Amino acid sequence: MANVVVVGTQWGDEGKGKIVDLLTRYADYIVRFQGGNNAGHTLVVDGKKFVFHLIPSGILYENKQCFIGNGVVLDPGVLLEEMEKLGAGGRPVTPARLTISERAHLIMPYHKLLDAGSEAAKKKGAKIGTTGRGIGPCYGDKVLRCGIKAGDLLDDDLFREKLRNNIEEKNRILTGHYQVDAVSFEKIYAQFQVYREKLAPYIDNISVKLDEGRRAGKHILFEGAQGTQLDIDHGTYPFVTSSNVVAGNACTGSGFGPAYIDSVIGILKAYTTRVGEGPFPSELFDETGDALQKKGGEFGATTGRKRRCGWLDAVVARDAVRLNSITGLAITKLDVLSGHKKLQIATSYEADGRTYGAMPGNIRTAQKLQPVYEEIPGWEEDITSVRSVDDLPRQARDYVKRIEDLTATPVMLLSVGPDRVETLLLKNPFLKN
């Protein structure tokens, strides 16, 4: 039995979906523990592309059980659309394969309107770059103790009461502050009755189910969304997501005891990207950055927005190792660096005459950071056909070794292409090897 957490180490988009998909073959349960449909996991299986926003990536394996944890904020319409697409493709999603936590909060139509209104009202330079999917306002209601949970759908009187109270309050804000049309109780209630009929068989207490699985010796894989620098507490606040992205939330966001976690795998892209606003010390504004963006296909899986690209940031990687207790790294998109004669790694920052070995908490300082680079040789060879570390160019092996040295963390997986078969598994966290 082993329980493994997979997290992003940068600003998201590191390729977690692919690594989770690979590790899923060794797991029994796969658990999504935070975030909402503001993040996407892209997988390429047998040349076919799959994009998931809510359903755990492990759903592509027929004999696995998937769970959506209480730390997730759930848009029922998006979830049902994903389920329908999978079913149409010959991969039906049944209650035996997917369980939704009764404690997961629901994204309501008014959350999306509040999200859009808040972002539109911000001045230039203060905009967060939100996806507008209602994630923040939903988490806000959760903290304010007025949110509507998935389990509330099963109690019609409770759901009606919560919905009516929320709509009264939200309409005052929507019509008064943002000057947009009020939302209709009757319309939303009718819409969510349809959702209830379809989703009721999937809703349960997943904390109990996960503990039963643990006691039965099941291998459990926990997958997060986004990346460490987008964590609401430990990221580049306020240019962050609205949930805790770090590995500690795998337990809080699923109801699983922290003493039972065995290892944490950090997904590290071989270079660095970021979507949206906020500090990005190693960002490149030249043709090298453009080349990384083009070759890496750097567009957001959820928004389609072009990702900002830069050299690998070892400061960000070390922060992630510390904050997540990362026991092993999975390096993705190593193949994208092929063709660069020289590579650079940011090993520290400088700002206002001071050197920083970690991302500072002051956002104004973070926005002024200048990276201090270490230059190492690159390689020309295409490595997408490589299936053994020994067959990698020496410079590529040296690059991987330097990452291990800078982070004091071993590399357990290497991805040299987008397909399942283009990943080298050096050490399996589910096996004693």
Residue 40's nearest CA partner among 29, 49, 48 is 49
Count of CB atoms within 10 A of residue 161's CB? 12
Q: What is the CA radius of gyration of the chain?
A: 22
Beta strands in 255-359 (DSSP E): 263-269, 272-274, 308-310, 312-313, 328-332, 340-351, 354-356
Residue 24 Cα distances to 279, 299, 389, angstroms:
33, 25, 22
**Annotated catalytic residue, options 13, 115, 141, 319:** 13
CB 186 within 8 A of CB 125: no
Structure tokens at 162: 């919560």
Count of CB atoms within 10 A of residue 418's CB? 21
**204 catalytic residue (yes or no):** no
For the chain, the straight-line distance linking the first and the last C-alpha, in angstroms and rounded, comes to 14
**13 catalytic residue (yes or no):** yes
Longest dimension (CA), the chain: 66
Q: For strand 41-45 and strand 203-204, is the pairing parallel, antiparallel, or unpaired? A: unpaired
d(CA 223, CA 80): 20
Q: List helix spans (H) across 151-205.
A: 156-176, 185-199
- The reply to whether omega before 238 is within 30° of 0 (cis) is yes
d(CA 9, CA 273): 11
**Annotated catalytic residue, options 21, 28, 41, 115:** 41
Active-site annotation, residues = 13, 41
